[in-house]
Structure 1
């Protein structure tokens, strides 16, 4: 029985080595196969024949290990190596390759979906992309308006020689406003700008043109003294907006907060001043309720002046307008002659 076990164990090694040689031979045979991934044989031991059990340590003995004899080796796995291969230049415009992970999805004759890394494709008689075994390459199709359809996969086709790919323009829509006071043009002309134009028409000189923006009220200059009054206890937030002679507001400032006690007031001084020297003579003051977050119009005061909020002036209910344009904008400036 012992000799038979030894021969059987040795036989498992020969069988495993035979499988490894088969895998290596298959790798060599497919060395020129496009998209082929090599494989490796992974071995595992066939565990184990126990001849005697071990013993744990005692007061007078340190213990013994069990006696076990392995029963040989087995092929646990044939693992494919899916690392990126070398991408080579092809003379065929229909050949494809995948850089990184992924597979081409193809359709077999019975409709079964298969996956491959082999990107050698050609056109069949129906102008469909197929591989060497005739399986159709699948992908996203397009509708009659040439819009990508991502809800399903269809066989990909290249409609060479057909007349349905290009379509002549049928309708052109032009929208715009034409002034009735302009002169009727007698010849076509291109006016040169920073983006369009030609060398025959000089670019307009815009060196004397300046674009200015309205100032933002500077709330950092505002100071407030809390004293006795009729405002309920709480924290009040204020925002300020400069107003020109026509009643147009600038973008409101950031909020300033003041906390008052019972029957308090807030005496605001050093209100925002007009940085343009008189174009914005008035400041609109907006305030929240006690511990509130919604700003409403409270009162108007002279720019750079003072305002005492003692509770006698109620909030108007008119919400603050903070929709003033902010950010970077691009403008196109055109030139015209009188008349």
Structure 2
């Protein structure tokens, strides 16, 4: 059986992974805080017929060997945590991070998760939550009679209450960074979970120790560049087609061999 049949099938499967990854990026082009993914590949082992340096005579050696590759495999799908563009909304509870860092949220079961999506709301108790009702950590509660909410670049939350001229500080928003954010597990809903590969969460005040600042009245858009993704989609499709052509050609060669007569 011709090895090229199996080799090309690995290429088709790998390009399917590439196109699936690109399709997810394109689908999330308007998802706030979304970070694009990139599929990465490596060649498989080689079938060695002759090793380089094999003696060809008493005084000469082969300068190159004869090694036939057996295909390709996906090695990782890497999250790219470059910043997306900022969009001004003038909503006092829309927050964007400029620089490194994540907002920390708490799920109903107590699990801590992290997100770059800073589109927040206020629940029935005045607590700042995300669109799914997950509380921001540390918890910040806005008084019922607050007439204005101000959030500084350092995360300090101040409100002006009815009948008062001076603003009152009601909380402090902190940010969390990781030494390897690409190691975070993406669980959907713009949320990430800590893993052994991401390293321990490093919590700090916005604007200090390399952690980014907070911008009130803005949201961070997806960092997907549509032109790049469409180019990758075309490249993946062409590579998939090329691998299928190799399978067709190999099949035709086998048919020719089967048709030989003595």
Q: TM-score range by the shorter chain?
A: 0.5 to 0.7
What is aligned with 1:161? 145
* Higher RCO (CA 8 Å, separation ≥ 6 residues): 2
Q: In structure 2, what is the Cα distance between the partners aligned to 1:115 and 1:39?
A: 17
For residues 243-282 of structure 1, the aligned pairs below 5 Å read none
1:60-80: CA deviation from partner (whole Å, max 9, x where unpaired): 214343211111111111111
- Runs ≥4 in structure 1, deviation > 4 angstroms? 56-59
How far residue 51 of structure 1 moved from its aligned partner, in angstroms, is 2.0
1:22-70: CA deviation from partner (whole Å, max 9, x where unpaired): 1111111101100001111111111212123333567621434321111
> Are 2:65 and 1:66 aligned?
yes
> Which stretch of structure 1 is more off in the superposition, 115-124 or 46-55?
46-55
Q: In structure 1, what is the Cα distance between the partners aligned to 2:76 and 2:12?
A: 17
> Are 2:113 and 1:114 aligned?
yes
How far residue 7 of structure 1 moved from its aligned partner, in angstroms, is 1.0
Secondary structure, aligned partner of 2:90: coil
How far residue 131 of structure 1 moved from its aligned partner, in angstroms, is 0.8
> Are 2:110 and 1:100 aligned?
no
Q: In structure 2, what is the Cα distance between the partners aligned to 1:56 and 1:7?
A: 29
What is aligned with 1:39? 37
Which protein has the bigger helix share?
A: 2
> Are 2:59 and 1:75 aligned?
no
Q: In structure 2, what is the Cα distance between the partners aligned to 1:74 and 1:38?
A: 21
What is aligned with 2:135? 136
Matched positions, count: 150
Higher gyration radius (CA)? 1
Structure 1, unaligned stretches of length 5 or more? Answer: 140-154, 169-339
Structure 2, unaligned stretches of length 5 or more? Answer: 147-159, 165-262
Secondary structure, aligned partner of 1:97: strand
Q: Normalising by the residue count of structure 1, what TM-score does the alignment of the two structures yield?
A: 0.41
How far residue 108 of structure 1 moved from its aligned partner, in angstroms, is 0.6
What is aligned with 1:17? 15
What is aligned with 2:122? 123
For residues 150-299 of structure 1, the aligned pairs below 5 Å read 155-161=139-145
Q: In structure 2, what is the Cα distance between the partners aligned to 1:25 and 1:86?
A: 21
Q: In structure 2, what is the Cα distance between the partners aligned to 1:102 and 1:35?
A: 12
Calculate the aligned-residue CA RMSD, in Å. Answer: 2.5
Q: 1:59 to 1:52 in 2, by over 3 A?
A: closer
Q: Normalising by the residue count of structure 2, what TM-score does the alignment of the two structures yield?
A: 0.53
